[in-house]
Amino acid sequence: MKCNVGGIDRVLRIVVGLVLIGLAITGTTGVWAWIGAVPLATGLFRFCPAYPLLGINTGGSCSQ
């Protein structure tokens, strides 16, 4: 897996993922909020499987 998620994109994915999971845990939203695991995982692993299909790369060289 080549890194293709970088910087601001990564932070936003992690924050959105955690917020959605938090809402699911507290019962504020329905079970659909567990979908927050997807942006959380893509932010943590710095790889989004949809990006290569769409020709997107926000990661630059991803040298971390």
pLDDT digits (tens, 9 = 90+) for 21-42: 999 999 999 999 999 999 999 9
Hey, what's the torsion of the CAs at 24, 26, 29, 34, to 10 degrees?
0
Instruction: List phi, psi (to 5°) of 16.
Output: -60, -45
Q: If pLDDT is split at 50, 70 and 90, which confidence band does 63 have?
A: low
Locate 15 and state its tokens.
Answer: 């924050």
* pTM of this structure: 0.89
Residue 18 pLDDT level (bands cut at 50, 70, 90): very high
The yes-or-no verdict on residue 44 having pLDDT over 70 is yes
CA dihedral (52, 57, 64, 37) positive or negative: negative
| Cα 4 from Cα 58, distance rounded (Å) | 6
pLDDT number for residue 25: 96
Report DSSP letters for 30-60, one per residue.
-GGGGGGHHHHHHHHHT--THHHHHT---ST
